[in-house]
Amino acid sequence: MAKTKDKNRPLTFNWKGIDKGNRKASGEIEAASLQIAKLLLRRQGVRVKKIRKQSKPLFSFGNTVKVKDIVFFTRQLATMMEAGIPIASSLRGISIGHENDGVKKLLSSIREDVEAGTNLSTTLAKHPAYFNRLYTSLVKVGEESGTLDTLMNKIASYLEKIEAIKGKIRSALFYPALVIIVMLVIVSILLIVVIPEFESLFSDYGSDLPSLTQWVVNVSHTFQQYWFYFLIGAMVISVATTFAYKRSPKMQHGLDRLMLRVPVFGPIIRKAIIARVSRTLATMFGAGIPLVDSLETVARAAGNRVYTRGLLEVRRDVSTGRNLEGSMRDTELFPGMMLQMVATGEEAGELERMLDKVAEFFEQEVDNAIAIISSLVEPFLIIVLGIIVGTIVIAMYLPIFKLGAVF
């Protein structure tokens, strides 16, 4: 099987050549491969003299373009366009005022293309790592309908709400992960450093150790002897799993399905996906993009392969003339409340408004679930940590209590 690059992670190439005005020119271009980069430059009227892949710096501080940077750029561009400022001038102003060098380079590249006569949607499509299909589709609709400033504001609001959900889920997962890491570090220190000291102290007395103490000492011996193998094994398993995950669509689909069934967190992930799907579909349908085309983009943006496959099935059914609610019902992936709202929206001709309400409801459901979990997980993990550390401490002091009873 040929090795392929991730379409969402294009390569950057530095080039030098002659532009269509017969002047020397140079710059950067993003493409999936060297051949595609050359093709894109030829389409721009550039005769390439030299082109090579841009090497990545070993350390890059403050150069990463994040989603919040794209949201900020989108909001600023919409505001400046509403004030009647041309796109190229708006891009120049936003670029000058931004502190992130990565954003400056990205906006400079976009501005150069726009000034050369390329429309904004086509220019943004050259940077798929930052502007996905949904983004460029909405921009294209805005350009064709003359409502680009309105749609840019809608895109910014959409990105803000989607990122808000992601941020809340990340914060809900961060604290348990941090506590587990701290717990593993503490237990490792106790097994490697503390317990051997107690063991040498107990050996001087020559009496048998209590069962719990002997068990903890045996665990300490095993850990001291094989900790390196445990570490290497964990690393090998992690690397192998990651490699297999990237190579196997079946494994990707299976793990995504497993994520939806994980106790406690599975329902939250499912609600977050439904909120994202509803919000994305409402945004695209409200912008005037046909439902069939919207469903394909929504499927790619679902963030879970189970829902991606289900939404592509919905798209196939809708393209044959079937209504949206019935097609969604057959997938058995969407809750009854959403199906009822979609059916009402289709009958009343207010599908966008109903989908927005579904998105708001499930976003609130995610907020409430995360708040409950955050309040329960913290004491639970503290209790678990206390039990583990407490067991080790009691095991170490049992021999002292035994000697005290003898004397």
Residue 4 forms part of a structural domain? no
What number of other Cβ atoms are within 10 A of residue 17's Cβ? 20
| Residues 269 and 363 both lie in one domain | yes
Half-sphere exposure at residue 171, Cβ-oriented, CA atoms within 13 angstroms: 13
pLDDT at 340: 93
* CB within 8 Å of 207: residues ≥ 6 apart: 399, 402, 403
- Map residue 37 onto helix, strand or coil: helix
Residue 32 forms part of a structural domain? yes
Strand 47-53 relative to strand 24-31, pairing: unpaired
Of the residues 161, 184, 212, the one at which a domain ends: 161
Amino acid present at 262: V
pLDDT at 204: 64
**What is the per-residue DSSP string for 268-284?**
HHHHHHHHHHHHHHHHH
**pLDDT (mean) for 86-101:** 81
> Which range marks the domain in which residue 175 is found?
165-407
pLDDT at 403: 63
Domain count, the chain: 3
Residue 6 forms part of a structural domain? no
**pLDDT (mean) for 298-307:** 87
CB 351 within 8 A of CB 342: yes
| Residues 214 and 294 both lie in one domain | yes
* Nearest alpha carbon to residue 285 among 114, 103, 134: 134
| Residues 111 and 183 both lie in one domain | no
- How many residues appear in the chain? 407
CA distances from 226 to 182, 209, 233, 359, 396 (A): 21, 23, 10, 50, 22
| End-to-end C-alpha distance for the chain, whole angstroms | 74
- Cα 22 from Cα 46, distance rounded (Å): 9
| Residues 197 and 156 both lie in one domain | no
- Cα 220 from Cα 230, distance rounded (Å): 13
pLDDT one-digit tens code per residue, 239-287: 888 888 778 788 888 888 998 888 878 888 899 899 989 988 988 888 8
CB 127 within 8 A of CB 139: no
Residue 2 forms part of a structural domain? no
| Residues 47 and 134 both lie in one domain | no
Residue 59 forms part of a structural domain? no
* Nearest alpha carbon to residue 103 among 83, 76, 142: 76
* Nearest alpha carbon to residue 194 among 215, 220, 223: 220
Tokens representing 56 are 């990545």
Residue 62 forms part of a structural domain? no
Q: What does the longest C-alpha to C-alpha distance in the chain come to?
A: 100
For the chain, the average pLDDT equals: 82
For the chain, the C-alpha Rg in angstroms (whole number) is: 29
Please tell me the pTM assigned to this model.
0.68
| Residues 130 and 258 both lie in one domain | no
| Residues 315 and 256 both lie in one domain | yes
| Residues 100 and 48 both lie in one domain | no
pLDDT at 55: 58
- Which bin fits 22, alpha (ψ -120 to 50), beta or left (φ > 0)? left
Specify the higher pLDDT residue, 291 or 166. Answer: 291
Residue 3 forms part of a structural domain? no
**pLDDT (mean) for 132-151:** 84
* Nearest alpha carbon to residue 334 among 402, 277, 255: 277
| Residues 264 and 407 both lie in one domain | yes
Specify the higher pLDDT residue, 120 or 396. Answer: 120
Q: Residue 136 class from Cβ within 10 Å (0-12 exposed, 13-18 middle, 19+ buried)?
A: buried
* Nearest alpha carbon to residue 294 among 253, 352, 349, 363: 352
- 51-55, 70-74, 206-210, 354-358: which has the highest mean pLDDT? 354-358
Phi/psi at 16 (5° precision): -135, 145
Strand partners, 47: 18
Q: Is the pLDDT of residue 313 over 90?
A: yes
Which CATH number does the domain housing residue 96 bear?
A: 1.20.81.30
Tokens representing 232 are 């290497």
| Residues 272 and 207 both lie in one domain | yes
**pLDDT (mean) for 88-93:** 86
Of the residues 141, 161, 181, the one at which a domain ends: 161
| Residues 242 and 373 both lie in one domain | yes
pLDDT one-digit tens code per residue, 205-236: 656 778 888 888 888 888 888 878 888 988 99
Residue 360 forms part of a structural domain? yes
Of the residues 145, 161, 177, the one at which a domain ends: 161
| Residues 214 and 148 both lie in one domain | no
**What is the per-residue DSSP string for 344-378?**
HHHHHT-HHHHHHHHHHHHHHHHHHHHHHHHHHHH
Buried b / exposed e along 322-337 (16+ C-beta atoms within 10 A): eebbebbbebebbeee
